[in-house]
Amino acid sequence: METVTQFITDLGPAVVLPVLIFVFAVILGLRPGRAFRAGVLIGIGFVGIGLVITLLLEQLGPAAEGLAERFEVQLNVIDVGWPSTAAIAFGSQVGAFIIPLGLAVNIALLGIGLTRTLNIDLWNYWHMAFIGAIVAIVTESLLWGFVAAAIHMVILLALADWSAPWIQRYYNFPNVSLPHGTSAPYVFLAIPLNYLFDRIPVVRDWKLDPDTIQRRFGVFGESIILGLVLGIVLGVLGGLSLNAVLQLGISLAAVMLLLPRMVAILMEGLAPVAEAAREFVQRRFPGRNLYIGLDSAIAVGAPAVIATALLMVPITLVIAVVLPGNQVLPFGDLATMPFIVCMMVPIFRGNIFRSVVAGAIAIAGGLYIATAISPVFTQAANNVNFQAPGDATQLSSLVDGANPVTGLFFGVAQAPAVGLPLLGAAALLFAWWVSRRQPGEPAVAGSKPRPGEPERAREPQEERI
Amino acid sequence: MIVCGTGIATSTVVAQKIRDYCAERGIEVDIQQTKVMETLRGVEDYDLVVSTTQMPGGSGVPTVNGMPFLTGVGVEQTLEEIGERLQS
């Protein structure tokens, strides 16, 4: 038995996942030819992501070391971005079974009325797999990994239900909720913070204009330019030769473009399978009064979200440098800022000033989390054959490495036998509280004014199309 | 033509469906995916934008809402709309 496990581990996810996905797809009724192609594409995606990560680490490593020597800035943990994080999560042992597990938990919760959301965004089940993979490594127990992933699903569904009225009203998505692993946890931060802002005189009237920000800071949205400039700046600060500086610039620009492209290949393979699973589930839950759980990608185009995310790019870089004890060098997820802020913005009613303050708090705390989990993150990456050259550099990410819920699970996993059951009970209690809170139709719940939300709180939300 | 989702995930799903649909009807398309942050620069080079999120810049190019592809409700109508716009 042990030799079999060892054999599978040695093969790596680029070989194992295609086989697994092929079997899963055939069970769901996909034609074998299509299922086969889907499986192979997923393998290719894995190989591609591995190549780009190697390029990133080889190029950025020396600059980060130089930075440490010359300025005593210890930024030796490289943010490899969500594409790598998602691949690590799906390639983990928990990730291999996350779609059936997640759906089972979702359907069970729907059955006992603890949620109203059917999460059909199967791609984003990687967030639960990521939590599971981290917990499995810390506890050295695959079982605890699965338990953690299941608890994470409960938390995300409850958060999606809780935030749904804000989301539906602000973005005008009827019957949609966003059980998204990156975006949803920040709701915990935004709700109390908004309450606080409403009570500070003068400051509560501050706001920023999205148009001006888009014009002035638009360049931060172009990730290849961002990669190029960041590479050159880091190279110069790291004391590299002119040759190496220019090469670093072009390489980081390449990573910014190539990494998401590689994930697109992975996604192309997963899409037919996820679609088949979605149809399979939706056929069984027709016409019930449900929220459809979607990817928060649908929300990130709103002007206030874009503007906040653009401002967050330079702010994140500054925080990373000045924050004592931080070791994370933000890179890959500078392009993922919209996902961090997109569920806070509706709670702040589109107020960009508040959203940026909340985003800065989230990043500052998040960098400590990302630093703390980096050894485990690096281990998780090694487990799927994404290797850092040498021992000097470690890996982490902002999405979801810097997520408060990731921090929570990481902490709890230190004493799993006590912590995880307690967290599971708390998650169920939270879900129960949310489900009791909004009886009646979603549309009605959405138009009710919240306690602590004064009437003057009508932000001009110019929603241009 | 550009399918403009946001991340990689949603736009890939949409691109696949449109590609299949167009192949069936014999409509020739060149599909590109991008994320919304990159569209701030403009999308004038394309004939049609299908977006699963809001287009913040106001594109000036005909835009179709891609949300139905994700919820699974109204996919046929959306595909027909896209087909008509492409052929005109």
What pLDDT digit, counting tens, does each position of A82-99 carry? 889 999 998 898 998 898
Q: Cβ of A295 and B72 within 8 Å?
A: no
In sequence order, which residues have a C-beta less than 8 Å from that of residue A202 and are 6 or more positions away? none
% of chain A at pLDDT higher than 70: 92
B13 three-class SS: helix
The DSSP H or E segment spanning B30 is none
Q: Which of A54-68, A226-240, A308-322 shows the lowest per-residue confidence on average (mean pLDDT)?
A: A54-68
Other CB atoms within 10 Å distance of the CB of residue B39: 23
Residues of B in contact with A274 (CB under 8 A): 13
pLDDT band for position B84 (cuts 50, 70, 90): confident
A400 preceded by cis ω (within 30°)? yes
Residues of B in contact with A171 (CB under 8 A): 54
Note whether A390 and A380 are within 8 A (CB).
no
Q: Give mean pLDDT, residues A162-178.
A: 90
Which of A218, A301, A336 shows the shortest C-beta gap to B53? A301
Rg (CA), chain B: 12
For residue A166, the distance in angstroms to the closest alpha carbon of chain B comes to 17
Cα–Cα distance, A302 to A122 (Å, whole number): 23
Q: Identify the CA nearest to A215 among candidates B12, B69, B45, B40.
A: B40
Q: Give mean pLDDT, residues B39-62.
A: 76
Which of B9, B57, B71 shows the shortest C-beta gap to A267? B9
For residue B82, the distance in angstroms to the closest alpha carbon of chain A comes to 18
Q: Which of A29-38, A348-357, A397-406 shows the lowest per-residue confidence on average (mean pLDDT)?
A: A29-38
Cα–Cα distance, A437 to A129 (Å, whole number): 29
Residue type, A1: M
pLDDT of residue A140: 93
Cα–Cα distance, A88 to A261 (Å, whole number): 16
Which of B10, B55, B72 shows the shortest C-beta gap to A297? B10
Other CB atoms within 10 Å distance of the CB of residue A60: 27
Q: Is the pLDDT of residue A158 over 80?
A: yes
pLDDT of residue A7: 76
Distance of CA B46 to the CA centre of its chain: 11
Residues of A in contact with B49 (CB under 8 A): none
Q: Where exactly are the structural domains of chain B?
A: 1-42
In sequence order, which residues have a C-beta less than 8 Å from that of residue B81 and are 6 or more positions away? B64
Note whether A339 and A246 are within 8 A (CB).
no
Q: How far is CA A62 from CA A231, A254, A320, in A?
A: 12, 17, 18
pLDDT band for position A356 (cuts 50, 70, 90): very high
Rg (CA), chain A: 22
- DSSP state, residue A204: G
Across A214-228, A294-308, A321-335, the highest mean pLDDT is recorded for: A321-335
Residue type, B21: Y
User: At which residue do the structure tokens 């809170």 appear?
Assistant: A437
Quick one: tokens of A56? 């990133």
Residues of A in contact with B38 (CB under 8 A): 221-223
Residues of A in contact with B60 (CB under 8 A): none
Note whether A428 and A360 are within 8 A (CB).
no
Q: Cβ of A295 and B10 within 8 Å?
A: yes
User: At which residue do the structure tokens 């940026």 appear?
Assistant: A356
The two most distant CA atoms of chain B are separated, in Å, by 33
* pLDDT tens, residue by residue, B63-74: 888 888 888 778
pLDDT band for position A153 (cuts 50, 70, 90): very high
Q: Give mean pLDDT, residues A27-39.
A: 88
pLDDT of residue A397: 94
Q: Cβ of B54 and A465 within 8 Å?
A: yes
Q: Give mean pLDDT, residues A438-442.
A: 47
β-strands A117-119, A291-293: how paired? parallel
Q: Does the ipTM surpass 0.90?
A: no
Q: Which of A63-67, A179-183, A410-414 shows the lowest per-residue confidence on average (mean pLDDT)?
A: A63-67
A61 or A421, greater pLDDT: A421
* pLDDT tens, residue by residue, A103-121: 999 999 998 989 999 998 8
Q: Which of A54-68, A151-165, A353-367, B35-49 shows the lowest per-residue confidence on average (mean pLDDT)?
A: B35-49
Q: Is the pLDDT of residue B76 over 90?
A: no
Q: Is the pLDDT of residue A135 over 60?
A: yes
Phi/psi at A395 (5° precision): -115, 150
* pLDDT tens, residue by residue, A300-331: 888 889 899 999 999 999 999 899 999 999 99
Q: Cβ of A464 and B58 within 8 Å?
A: yes
Residues counted in chain B? 88
For residue A409, the distance in angstroms to the closest alpha carbon of chain B comes to 26
pLDDT band for position A463 (cuts 50, 70, 90): very low
Q: At what angle do helices A32-71 and A223-237 cross, to 10 degrees?
A: 30
In sequence order, which residues have a C-beta less than 8 Å from that of residue A246 and are 6 or more positions away? A232, A235
Cα–Cα distance, A403 to A17 (Å, whole number): 26
Q: Identify the CA nearest to A25 among candidates A270, A294, A264.
A: A270
Average pLDDT, chain A: 86
Q: Identify the CA nearest to A320 among candidates A311, A329, A310.
A: A329
Quick one: tokens of A308? 């906040």
Residues of B in contact with A310 (CB under 8 A): 37
Note whether A25 and A11 are within 8 A (CB).
no
Which of B37, B63, B67 shows the shortest C-beta gap to A338? B37
- A&B contacts, CB < 8 Å: 103
% of chain A at pLDDT higher than 90: 46
User: At which residue do the structure tokens 């949300």 appear?
Assistant: B67
* pLDDT tens, residue by residue, A241-279: 899 899 999 999 999 888 888 888 888 888 888 888 888
Q: What is the DSSP track for A136-154?
A: HHHHT-HHHHHHHHHHHHH
Instruction: Kindly provide the residue ranges of all beta strands, DSSP E only, lying in A166-275, ordered along the sequence.
Output: 176-177
pLDDT band for position A163 (cuts 50, 70, 90): very high
Residues A211-239 as b/e (b if ≥16 CB within 10 A, e otherwise) read eebbeebbebbbbbebbbbbbbebbeebb
pLDDT band for position A419 (cuts 50, 70, 90): very high
Q: Cβ of B57 and A263 within 8 Å?
A: no
Cα–Cα distance, A311 to A217 (Å, whole number): 7
* pLDDT tens, residue by residue, A3-25: 776 777 777 888 888 888 888 88
Quick one: tokens of A45? 């995606």
Q: Where exactly are the structural domains of chain A?
A: 2-447
Phi/psi at A238 (5° precision): -80, 0
Cα–Cα distance, A32 to A25 (Å, whole number): 8
Q: Identify the CA nearest to A132 among candidates A410, A333, A414.
A: A410
β-strands A77-79, A176-177: how paired? unpaired
Q: Identify the CA nearest to A103 among candidates A271, A278, A269, A267.
A: A278
Q: Cβ of A214 and B56 within 8 Å?
A: yes
Instruction: Kindly provide the residue ranges of all beta strands, DSSP E only, lying in A324-421, ordered along the sequence.
Output: 328-329, 394-396
Note whether B26 and B70 are within 8 A (CB).
no
Q: Give mean pLDDT, residues B26-39.
A: 81
Edge-to-edge strand ranges of the sheet holding B32-33: B32-33, B2-4, B49-51, B63-65
pLDDT band for position A195 (cuts 50, 70, 90): very high
